[in-house]
Structure 1
Amino acid sequence: MARVEQRSKHSFARARLVFPDGTSRVTIERDPIPLYVERGMGSYLFDVDGRRFLDLSANFTTLIHGHAFAPVVEALTRQLQRGSCFANPTESEIELAELLCGRIPQVDRVRFVNTGTEAVLFGIKAARAFTGRSKIAKLEGAYHGAYDWAEVSLAATPDNWGDPTAPKSTAFYRGMPASVLDEVVVLRFNDIEGARRLLSLHADKLAAVVMDPMPSRGGLIAPKPEFVVAVQETARKNGILVIADEILNLRQSFRGASARYGLVPDLVTMGKIIGGGLPIGAVGGREDVMKVFEASAGRPLLPQGGTFSANTLSMTAGLAAMRHLDHAAFEYLELLGNIVRDGIGRAISNRCAPLCVTGAASLFRIHPMAQIPNDYREAHPVLAGATLMRQLTRFFAENGIILPYGAAASISTSMTRTEAEFVVDVFAGFLDGHQDMLEALEART
């Protein structure tokens, strides 16, 4: 293994001289060093040391068609020969906006940005501009990007998350302003009565409730229909906007995740798959709410710009990718997702292992606990569980599969049934070879 990883080790040594910890973003996994990628093709990654991996990360669920998807490559090649970015608008941004407005319910108008973080940032700002209120509510443990208010209680732990009926607003980083914590109401996912009570209690100051229909870092757990109704009804009654964060979960169906789970949002944040592998974000929603961005009559209620917002490369790649995400593509992704989740579930059941699997459509996540959790707190692993999941990720890598740690794994249209079954087989092999760790976990849960 030392010989095989020689180039990766050399790359990491170079990286440590220019990056604070040798990496360019906190989400880079290392065991003990990062895997440096040379190229990607279809469902596979090839690292600088010549190894091949089935990629279940797909750049954090972005690459729904896999790597180097031919229609995207061809469209980008044509566009690069005509220019990469302009200060003026292009017809490509209109075409992608038309596709999103025509497909995603409640999206009457769209503004493009460059990242999911920006999409949520401007979604929250739009809600504030529309309502004249400043507070927001969000789900404990849910990830919505690197905006201070969206980061509150992202990494809450048993040591600081507070009362189960009134979760505490916890800081994500040292020095986060106390004023930010005071302006965020934290809800527990699937806590029906808690959502009604807390939203009502703070109603006069709440601009919006930000809700990922199935939070990945919160456990990739399905919402209870009653919870969706509780949030929606209480918000409507009190003039609170509902922001559906579908940056990750838009891939759950042709019309997105909100449509799948009965959520009717006022604003929708989008990203990842709508960019075809290039940087992108978007906020869309009701026409009256989106009017806060209008500048035709002077300074808008909410100014929004960006040098690379709606850049023609992201628009071109996104349009090519989204046009190939038709109903048949989503049915295929659902089929493969069911093969993986059902197969993992059978492997667990046949061995009475203290594990479970969650997710939907083309997403899945394995948990080190016997019962499917209801929310972030229940999904929070004990030490033995976290250790086992690290070993699971390592075992998958040793068998040629990239399995994200503590986040959603994703399936792409470039995968086949054979590859889906291979994922199940590797998981079953892990269970068979780690009985001691499974017994230790069961004894502690």
Structure 2
Amino acid sequence: MTAITTEGHNSVGSASREAFKRAQNVFIDGTTRVTIERDPIPRYMDKGEGAYLVDVDGRRFLDLNGNFTTLIHGHRFQPVIEAVTRQLQSGTCFANPTLAEIDLAELICDRVPGAETIRFVNTGSEAVMFAIKAARAFTARSAIAKIEGAYHGAYDWVEVSQASTPGNWGPEDAPAAVSYYRGMPASVLSEVVPLRFNDVALLEKQIASHAENLAAIVLDPMPSRAGLIAPTPDFVSAIQRVAKKHGVLIIADEVLSFRQDYEGASARYGLVPDLFTFGKIIGGGLPVGAIAGNREVMGVFDASGGRPLLPQGGTFSANPLSMVAGLASMTALDRDAFAHLEQLGDRLRGQLTAAIARNRAPFSISGAASLFRIHPKAVLPRDFREATPTTAQAHVMKELSRAFAECEIILPDGAAACLSTPMTTEDTDRVASVFDDFLASRSDLIESLAA
């Protein structure tokens, strides 16, 4: 284990420092998730209160992370607490189905065009894995295509080119399949076709070249780690056309982007996939994932006549705690709730853009609905390569996150930030004000972007 000093940034208090000392004795790097932000140590939390988090030192932070966009109703959402409390009196998990899983399934299938039938799993990663397996079972092909830089969880095939860099990502017209970890099998790399987001010509060329063994195109309609950039209508149309022409399935990964619209992100952008993956918000803050789609493709899971083409199960899949929490959360996430988030998001993105113009700063804003991302780029990126920050840009973004932390706001470092239903215009005005102050007071730092 590499020794890490606990002399972190001064917004992290003494109780977090002491907790991290203990954690380093039992966790190889002091945490159990690589996604935990540290500077250089993490901030430990005690509790959540609506749109806010309270750390172990008693400081209260506006939460723009929401456990990686999961908590669309914020923390300790009362309907979820009540539903889970009731279910705890009846049991936590069974080897039999429950009415709760039918209730949540009906809600999602009624809401999402094209989601005719659904299966629950435990995580978004698991949902993506089984969606890809379903595409393979249906097409009898093994390879997939995915967007360069897009995150789809912890399945080997979708980790390819997830974190490629200028030094290894290859030419623009032939993106390289880049390993995510040392020891990733070469056979995995050979079965992944990287695509560039919003590049129609490359899409057509790559799919045509690999169609014979291509089972599916995996697509987040607005990939957060690849820039949180909206798909162009031409790109969406091209995916539909090319996939149909070559018999390739479309998997819409809405684990994160489902929060964009009452009917989901695919419906928002006019995408008609064969399969969907869901997670995060559909569990109300408890572990969950789901695969949905049309009955023909989802038929690979059908075990009613014996062994299915694709066996799928899980000890905790569709556990009633996650199901009742998800039902409570999704029931409250009605059209009015989405309208509130849309208005709040539009207002904030407009305020951030106005601050950039006022300070003549080389920044831009992407996102939609309840999601936004700040880019240290004068021109709004079109894809992962353009969104990837230089060393100087990454440093500026780290300083920006620190400035927000000093003002007791949690801003994810280089990823999608999100709003939640308990937030108000007062909260978002505060976010915009901190950003404006940073641009005005750190001109010396920001000038380094032009160097």
Fold shared per TM-score above 0.5: yes
- Of 399, 403, 407, the residue aligned with 1:391 is 399
Match of 1:377 in 2: 385
| Contact 2:256 2:280 survives alignment (8 Å) | yes
Distance in 1, Cα, partners of 2:98 & 2:427: 40
Distance in 1, Cα, partners of 2:12 & 2:345: 32
Match of 2:314 in 1: 306
| Contact 2:52 2:61 survives alignment (8 Å) | yes
* 1:94 equivalenced with 2:102 (yes/no): yes
Match of 2:28 in 1: 20
Distance in 2, Cα, partners of 1:388 & 1:430: 10
- Residue 240 of structure 2 aligns to which amino acid in structure 1? Q
Aligned positions of 1:125-140 closer than 5 A: 125-140=133-148
- Of 420, 423, 439, the residue aligned with 1:412 is 420
C-alpha offsets along residues 225-250 of structure 1, whole Å, 9 cap, x if unaligned?
A: 10111111000111100000000000
* 1:121 equivalenced with 2:104 (yes/no): no
- Residue 59 of structure 2 aligns to which amino acid in structure 1? R
| Contact 2:100 2:324 survives alignment (8 Å) | yes
- TM-fit CA distance, 1:32: 2.0
Match of 1:256 in 2: 264
- Residue 309 of structure 1 aligns to which amino acid in structure 2? S
Distance in 2, Cα, partners of 1:135 & 1:442: 42
Aligned positions of 1:242-253 closer than 5 A: 242-253=250-261
Q: Number of residue pairs matched? A: 443
* 1:106 equivalenced with 2:119 (yes/no): no
Q: Secondary structure at the residue paired with 1:365?
A: strand
Q: Which runs of structure 1 show a deviation greater than 2 angstroms over 4 or more consecutive aligned residues?
A: 1-4
Match of 2:92 in 1: 84
Distance in 2, Cα, partners of 1:236 & 1:270: 23
Q: Secondary structure at the residue paired with 2:38?
A: coil
- Of 276, 279, 286, the residue aligned with 1:271 is 279
Distance in 2, Cα, partners of 1:333 & 1:27: 25
Structure 1-normalised TM-score?
0.99
- Residue 14 of structure 2 aligns to which amino acid in structure 1? Q
C-alpha offsets along residues 280-328 of structure 1, whole Å, 9 cap, x if unaligned?
A: 0000001000010011111000000000000000000000000001110
Match of 2:325 in 1: 317
Which structure 2 residue ranges, 5 or more long, are not aligned? Answer: 1-8
Aligned positions of 1:35-434 closer than 5 A: 35-434=43-442
Q: Report the RMSD for the aligned CA atoms in angstroms.
A: 0.9
| Contact 2:219 2:250 survives alignment (8 Å) | yes
- TM-fit CA distance, 1:432: 1.1
Greater Cα offset, 3-12 or 176-185: 3-12
- Structure-2 change in CA distance of 1:430 and 1:113 (3 Å): same
- Residue 360 of structure 2 aligns to which amino acid in structure 1? C
Q: Secondary structure at the residue paired with 1:297?
A: coil
Distance in 1, Cα, partners of 2:94 & 2:216: 34
Distance in 1, Cα, partners of 2:10 & 2:285: 32
- Residue 89 of structure 2 aligns to which amino acid in structure 1? Q
Distance in 1, Cα, partners of 2:179 & 2:39: 28
Q: Secondary structure at the residue paired with 2:26?
A: coil
Distance in 2, Cα, partners of 1:25 & 1:155: 17
- Structure-2 change in CA distance of 1:244 and 1:2 (3 Å): closer
Q: Percent identity?
A: 62
Distance in 1, Cα, partners of 2:12 & 2:441: 24
